[in-house]
């Protein structure tokens, strides 16, 4: 993620056209090692006031966010008003050296889909910055500690974020739990029939107006979210921002095209939003790229039809897919799967488990079995020894115990395993998980791993 992406979604799970804006990121806090170092300029660490901001602080807070993300540190009245109604001031923290805000932190309510479809309450963290003049004074640690303590008090099961920099959040118990992959499709190489005129299954592709998307999109997303671990909820503000109702200075809005797949019965089973550039080569030949802003499909037929549609648009020679799951079906829809190459891949949603028992009981399991986990939590109070007992129907119970453990691991590595994307056997080979009983890592994989990888398409 670039600094340009880091600010515009600071009021919701937003993805705006201008650079896929938004970040749960931390540009500017990479050097905040959490210690009490008082070197550098400004006040000593204990003289810096870390507190929830009040309404009059918002302009200075936004300036600090922009400074941390290396954006022009100018805050307009429009910026302030657009965010005033969206922010929960009690969950928007600032560190103040005198009257100036020098570090920022914000959280808001979220739901994450666990394996099996349960919606788990989460503390979503965003807009984390520390001004370069105030690094290594423990400001991030103070803000994170306060926020996670409040999240536990509220009863949140996990905390989530999307990290602009990898090394920062592991020390707070977060682990990467999903992977995001982007493909670039070379349309002439796919082997698809360029004369494709629509699906052959009785369904159809229709272009929609934006009002139709605002009406149909939220329900379709909820249908998809309930069946895909790692996905997060999209509130009304997300749809307003991603259909052009809410716009932000410095992030020009480009109206997308919207297309829907309707099944033979007329039901919308897929939606896509995409833009196109205008690139004609010196030989007056089109080399235009369709860029997918988001694509939702609740059936394979809808998914296949929407990708085929995108690859059949006149003058489009490349399709950029946007953020997809690493096991997305797209390449296999193509007669020549090599027509789709991976053009970007990264860790995406990071998770911090705040309640081990509720987190493990919220999801379902691939087989029956019992596993005693020794969970280390060096940065918080959430560790301990727990017996996980999965039943044949996929449900499970979890309880604290004192008996000998089968597997030892950190709270961050448990978060990495929780959505089913990582292998305990792999982590054992890396020395991050320790088997106390032979075969425990393999049993953990049988219990925890999923047949389809978790996916979080959103930035926040």
74: Cβ contacts below 8 Å, ≥ 6 apart: 63, 66
- Catalytic position from the list 169, 258, 261, 365: 169
- Catalytic position from the list 96, 108, 365, 460: 460
17: Cβ contacts below 8 Å, ≥ 6 apart: 251, 252, 253, 254, 256, 275, 293
Known active-site residue 258 = no
Under 8 Å between Cβ of 11 and 5: no
Under 8 Å between Cβ of 18 and 253: yes
Partners of 101 in beta bridges: 96
Query: Cβ-count burial of 47 within 10 angstroms (0-12 exposed, 13-18 middle, 19+ buried)?
Result: exposed
Task: Quote the tokens at residue 248.
Answer: 């932000």
Known active-site residue 172 = no
Cα 391 from chain centre: 30
Under 8 Å between Cβ of 181 and 341: no
> What SS3 string covers 77-132?
HHHHHHHHCCCCHHHEEEEEECCEEEEEEEEEEEEEECCCCCEEEEEEEEEEEECH
Distance CA 238, CA 293 (A): 13
Tell me which residues are annotated as active site. Answer: 169, 460
């Amino acid at each position: 993620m670039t600094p340009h992406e880091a600010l515009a979604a600071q009021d919701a799970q937003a993805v705006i056209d201008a650079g896929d804006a938004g970040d749960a990121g931390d540009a500017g806090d990479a050097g905040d090692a959490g210690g009490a170092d008082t070197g550098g300029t400004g006040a000593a660490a204990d003289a810096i006031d870390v507190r929830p901001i009040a309404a009059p602080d918002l302009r200075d807070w936004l300036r600090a966010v922009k400074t941390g993300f290396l954006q022009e540190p100018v805050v307009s009245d429009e910026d302030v008003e657009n965010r005033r109604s969206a922010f929960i001031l009690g969950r928007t923290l600032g560190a103040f050296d005198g009257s100036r805000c020098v570090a920022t932190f914000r959280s808001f309510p979220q739901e994450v889909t666990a394996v099996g479809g349960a919606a788990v309450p989460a503390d979503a963290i965003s807009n984390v910055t520390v001004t370069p003049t105030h690094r290594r004074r423990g400001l991030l640690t103070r803000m994170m500690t306060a926020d996670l303590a409040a999240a536990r008090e509220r009863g949140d099961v996990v905390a989530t974020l999307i990290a602009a920099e990898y090394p920062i959040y592991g020390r707070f118990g977060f682990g990467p739990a999903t992977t995001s992959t982007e493909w670039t499709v070379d349309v002439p190489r796919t082997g698809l029939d360029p004369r494709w005129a629509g699906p052959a299954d009785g369904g159809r592709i229709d272009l929609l107006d934006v009002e139709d998307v605002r009406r149909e999109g939220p329900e379709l997303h909820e249908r998809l979210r309930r069946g895909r671990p790692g996905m997060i909820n999209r509130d009304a503000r997300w749809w307003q921002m991603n259909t052009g109702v809410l716009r932000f200075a410095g992030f020009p809005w480009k109206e997308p095209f919207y297309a829907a797949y309707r099944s033979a019965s007329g039901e919308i089973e897929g939606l896509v939003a995409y833009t196109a550039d205008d690139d004609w080569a010196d030989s007056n030949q089109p080399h235009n790229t369709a860029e997918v802003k988001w694509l939702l499909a609740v059936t394979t037929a809808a998914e296949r039809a929407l990708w085929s549609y995108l690859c059949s648009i006149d003058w489009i020679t490349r399709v950029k897919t946007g953020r997809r799951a690493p096991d997305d079906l797209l390449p296999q829809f193509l007669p020549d799967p090599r027509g789709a190459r991976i053009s970007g891949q990264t860790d995406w949603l990071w998770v911090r488990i705040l309640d081990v028992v509720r987190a493990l009981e919220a999801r379902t399991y691939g087989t029956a079995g019992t596993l005693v986990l020794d969970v280390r939590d060096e940065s918080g109070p959430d560790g301990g020894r727990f017996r996980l007992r999965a039943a044949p129907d996929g449900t499970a119970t979890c309880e604290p115990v004192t008996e000998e453990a089968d597997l030892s691991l950190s709270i961050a590595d448990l978060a990495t395993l929780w959505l089913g994307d990582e292998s305990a056997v792999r982590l054992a080979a890396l020395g991050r998980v320790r088997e106390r009983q032979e075969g425990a890592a393999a049993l953990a994989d049988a219990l925890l791993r999923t047949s389809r990888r978790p996916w979080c398409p959103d930035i926040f």
